[in-house]
């Protein structure tokens, strides 16, 4: 994808019903100036390969450089132009009910410039999507949809919001997650978990919220509930009070309450629907 190109894939009615679907993709070796007083009707992501430009969204002016990307939400007035040539840009647009939600889950809540922890991965994703549009594959809209979805999921991991990406925060949490896996059957306190990283409980809670969207002790309970399900499968005759004790719950009633909240059914109902007595 080293030449100037743009592709607008033919979309069937079935394609436009997908949760996310590609509407265009292309590459400019030196991006021309764009001025859209009424915005563009689809979501866009543009990744800068080299050079630099300026993005204006409403009253905001932002510089976007090589290794960064910028997103544009639908129907928002914007313009962008190069300030350091050649401004090499690869871009794509997409639609679908999940588009906004996936952007927001990545911490992208408005049009603007964003840095990523892995520029090469983002570019590779976009090149793969372009290659798919040229492949002549059957169900092309569906195949491109899968690739755009993968792109947005990986973007969620590497986007740098508040100086850290989700992936970086998750890697920081590995000693804590390993401790939980090794000690789920024992008494675990938030202080124990914070000690694994040498941080305060408050900072640990913030890190969990940023990377996993949950509190540390909620993660502990999820680990325990998953272990209880494994026990039910391996030792079908085991009593519920024994399961609760072996996975670290103080009481069978609390175990049952947590299990129901996380799984939507009681431990007994879980066993029944999986054919366990």
For residue 187, being part of any structural domain is answered with yes
Same domain (yes/no): 138, 202: no
The CA distance from 145 to 147, in Å, is 5
Residues 6+ apart with CB under 8 A from 244: 228, 251, 252, 254, 255, 256
Domain assignment present for residue 94? The answer is yes
Same domain, 106 and 213: no
* Whether residue 206 is found in the same domain as residue 151: no
Q: Which of 13-17, 124-128, 234-238 has the lowest mean pLDDT?
A: 234-238
* Residues 203 and 267 occupy one common structural domain: yes
Domain-located, residue 204: yes
**Is 119 in the same domain as 212?**
no
Place of tokens 């540390």: 216
Residue partners of 203: CB distance under 8 A and separation at least 6: 194
Instruction: Please state, in angstroms and rounded to a whole number, the distance separating the CA atoms of residues 223 and 234.
Output: 17
Whether 13 and 114 share a structural domain: yes
Q: Tens digit of pLDDT for each residue in 27-54?
A: 999 999 999 999 999 999 999 999 999 9
* Residue 168, domain member (yes or no): no
127/72 same-domain check: yes
- Tell me: do 145 and 47 sit in the same domain: yes
Boundaries of domain holding 212: 173-273
Residues 6+ apart with CB under 8 A from 158: 116, 117, 118, 121, 122, 165, 166, 167
Residues 13 and 142 in one domain: yes
CATH number for the domain spanning 250: value is 1.10.10.60
Q: State percent of the chain over pLDDT 90.
A: 76
Give yes or no: residues 137 and 10 share one domain.
yes
**pTM, full prediction:** 0.69
Residue 167 lies in a domain: no
The DSSP call for residue 15 is G
Do 31 and 120 belong together in one domain?
yes
Convert the pLDDT of each residue in 82-131 to its tens digit. 999 999 999 999 999 999 999 888 888 899 999 888 899 999 999 999 99
| Domain containing residue 144: CATH number | 2.60.120.280
Which of 119, 138, 160 terminates a domain? The answer is: 160
pLDDT of residue 2: 67
Q: What residue spans of the chain are helical by DSSP H? A: 97-105, 119-133, 140-158, 166-172, 174-183, 190-197, 201-212, 216-234, 240-246, 252-263, 267-273
pLDDT bucket at 163, cuts 50 / 70 / 90? very low
Structurally, how many domains does the chain consist of? 2
**How many Å from the N-terminal Cα to the C-terminal Cα in the chain?**
58
Same domain membership, residue 148 and residue 247: no
28 part of a folded domain = yes
């Amino acid at each position: 994808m080293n030449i100037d190109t743009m592709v607008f894939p033919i979309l069937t009615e079935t394609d436009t019903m997908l949760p996310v679907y590609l509407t265009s993709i292309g590459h400019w070796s030196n991006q021309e100036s764009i001025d859209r007083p009424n915005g563009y009707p689809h979501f866009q992501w543009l990744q800068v390969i080299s050079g630099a430009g300026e993005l204006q969204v409403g009253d905001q002016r932002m510089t976007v450089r090589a290794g960064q990307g910028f997103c544009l939400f639908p129907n928002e007035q914007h313009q962008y132009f190069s300030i350091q040539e050649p401004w090499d840009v690869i871009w794509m647009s997409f639609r679908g009910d999940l588009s906004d939600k996936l952007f927001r889950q990545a911490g992208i809540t408005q049009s603007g410039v964003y840095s990523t922890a892995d520029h090469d991965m983002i570019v590779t994703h976009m090149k793969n999507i372009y290659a798919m549009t040229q492949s002549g594959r059957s169900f092309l809209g569906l195949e491109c949809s899968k690739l755009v979805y993968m792109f947005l999921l990986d973007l969620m991991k590497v986007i740098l919001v508040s100086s850290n990406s989700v992936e970086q925060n998750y890697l920081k949490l590995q000693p804590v997650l390993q401790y939980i896996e090794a000690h789920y059957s024992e008494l675990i306190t938030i202080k124990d978990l914070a000690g694994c990283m040498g941080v305060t409980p408050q900072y640990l809670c913030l890190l969990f919220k940023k990377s996993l969207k949950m509190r540390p002790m909620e993660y502990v309970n999820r680990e325990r509930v998953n272990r209880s399900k494994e026990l039910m499968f391996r030792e079908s005759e085991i009593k519920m009070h024994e399961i609760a004790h072996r996975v670290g719950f103080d009481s069978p009633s609390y175990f049952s309450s947590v299990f129901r909240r996380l799984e939507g059914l009681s431990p007994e109902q879980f066993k029944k629907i999986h054919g366990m007595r």
